[in-house]
């Protein structure tokens, strides 16, 4: 929760935590237009089982995140908790829900829509980096 002066908690932060708590349950990935096979994270070379898992760290994090949601029914925040994902809401809302983001590694991010009403996650963008706004 966001702390303010004198230890007060913002209503928005409390609302986000209540929404997260109420949104527990089986989650699934919605169909999306983002082609993860064409992702900048995807390597072009195929590896054999003998060579082992040669995925890049960002690709492995993305795969683990999506598999935890799709196969285990985890909430996206829980699915991203196995590494330093910096899970956050970007504050935008649309017909697919609320826009959220995770850090896949130092340079790569994944943006996705979270719909708490129907427990779906829809990938919006994979790869790239969100530029921070500097306060003037």
Q: Could you report the per-residue pLDDT of 38-92, keeping only the tens digit for each?
A: 555 554 445 555 666 677 889 899 999 999 999 999 999 999 999 999 999 999 9
Calculate mean pLDDT across residues 24-39.
64
pLDDT of residue 127: 86
Please choose, from the candidates 112, 131, 130, 132, the residue with its C-alpha nearest in 3D space to the C-alpha of residue 122: 112
Q: Where are the alpha helices (DSSP H) in 28-112?
A: 57-70, 76-79
Residue 11's pLDDT is 47
- Which domains, ranges and CATH numbers included, belong to the chain? 23-42+55-126 (3.30.2310.20)
């Amino acid at each position: 929760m966001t702390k303010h002066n004198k230890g007060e908690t913002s209503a928005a932060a409390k609302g986000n935590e209540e929404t997260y708590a109420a949104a527990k349950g089986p989650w699934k990935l919605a169909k999306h237009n983002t082609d993860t096979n064409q992702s900048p994270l995807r390597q072009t070379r195929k590896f054999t089982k003998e060579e082992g898992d040669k995925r890049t760290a960002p690709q492995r994090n993305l795969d683990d995140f999506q598999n935890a949601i799709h196969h285990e029914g985890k909430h996206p925040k829980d699915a991203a908790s196995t590494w330093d994902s910096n899970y956050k809401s970007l504050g935008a809302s649309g017909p697919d829900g609320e826009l959220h983001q995770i850090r896949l590694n130092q340079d790569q991010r994944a943006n996705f829509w979270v719909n708490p009403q129907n427990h779906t996650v829809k990938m919006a963008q994979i790869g790239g980096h969100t530029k921070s706004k500097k306060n003037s």
